[in-house]
Amino acid sequence: MSDDRKYALLGRPRRVWAVGAIHGEAARLAALHDDVGKRFQPGDRLVYLGNMIGRGTATRETVEELLSFRRHVLALRGVVVTDITYLRGGQEEMWHKLLQLQFAPDPAAVLQWMIGQGLDTTLAAYGGNAQYGLSAAREGAVTLARWTGELRAALRAAPGHDNLLSAVRRCAYTSAVDGSPTDLLFVNAGLDPAKPLHMQADIFWWGGSSFPRIAEPYNGFRRVVRGYDPTHGPGPTVTDFTASLDGGAGFGGRLICACFAPDGRLLELVEA
């Protein structure tokens, strides 16, 4: 369960700042960073809850802002690399799969579905064209592999972008010295409360519909926090055992960040 390639262990933080789905809203993210950056202190943790890219038209600018704020936070005395965590959301998962599209059984249909889910803005951010991609998919694996190779090269040509989008974790949680979970669990969209953490897999980003069924502490966690609500309901929504921080960024709404005490108490909300 403590496999750090999948999960981010947050230890016993002073506070945790959790940022909801950004969806390429770089200007809102910069405004949020201006506020949080004035109050972030050594001992705090910062968790981005996935769906950082996609939907909005400023994907590259969003990643640049994430990298810039990372440098700002790491410049603070006492802050270390593991104090900042990025979670995998549906948008990051689709981008990862897009770069391997030539291996899909029906690549044209998969790409068409991804475009309908808002990945076209990320595709355009790295020089891709949806219609050209569909054409390449119909021509065969060789043409398609050349197209995805061009996208991968464009991503790597943007310093830090590939590293950040490859460093995403499935979830994050506060933990004891031995790595065992404590009070706070952070996910992208949801989880199945009937399954243990190690069996959630892609439920973390595609299983948002099961999130409202969490009506008691899950697996010992006092609160489960997510950043994306697939129903685009008005957020934030906080219950005794959950918090949903999707304010509609990328869909005409706001970007939300919540600050939590290590025992799961909500300390404050920041919006941009």
Residue 2 has pLDDT above 70, yes or no: no
Residue 58 has pLDDT above 50, yes or no: yes
Q: Rounded to whole angstroms, how far apart are CA atoms 52 and 122?
A: 10
Q: Which amino acid is at 87?
A: L
pLDDT at residue 233, rounded to an integer: 74
Average pLDDT of the residues of the chain = 95
H or E element: which one contains 151? helix 141-157
pLDDT at residue 1, rounded to an integer: 47
Instruction: Return the closest-CA partner of residue 91 out of 64, 53, 127, 125.
Output: 53
Q: Rounded to whole angstroms, how far apart are CA atoms 1 and 179?
A: 9
CA 99 centroid distance within chain: 18
Retrieve residue 159's tokens: 């310093």
pLDDT at residue 234, rounded to an integer: 76
What is the C-alpha radius of gyration for the chain, rounded to an integer number of angstroms? 18
Q: Rounded to whole angstroms, how far apart are CA atoms 7 and 167?
A: 11
pLDDT at residue 172, rounded to an integer: 98
Q: Which residue has the tokens 């909005």?
A: 56
pLDDT at residue 3, rounded to an integer: 57
Provide the sign of the torsion angle of the four alpha carbons 181, 2, 39, 188, taken in this order: negative
Region 211-236: what's the mean pLDDT? Answer: 92
Q: Is 133 helix (H, G, I), strand (E, B) or coil?
A: helix
Residue 22 has pLDDT above 80, yes or no: yes
Instruction: Return the closest-CA partner of residue 47 out of 76, 22, 24.
Output: 22
Cβ contacts of residue 118 below 8 Å, gap of 6+?
23, 54, 55, 91, 250
Q: Specify the DSSP class assigned to residue 58.
A: -
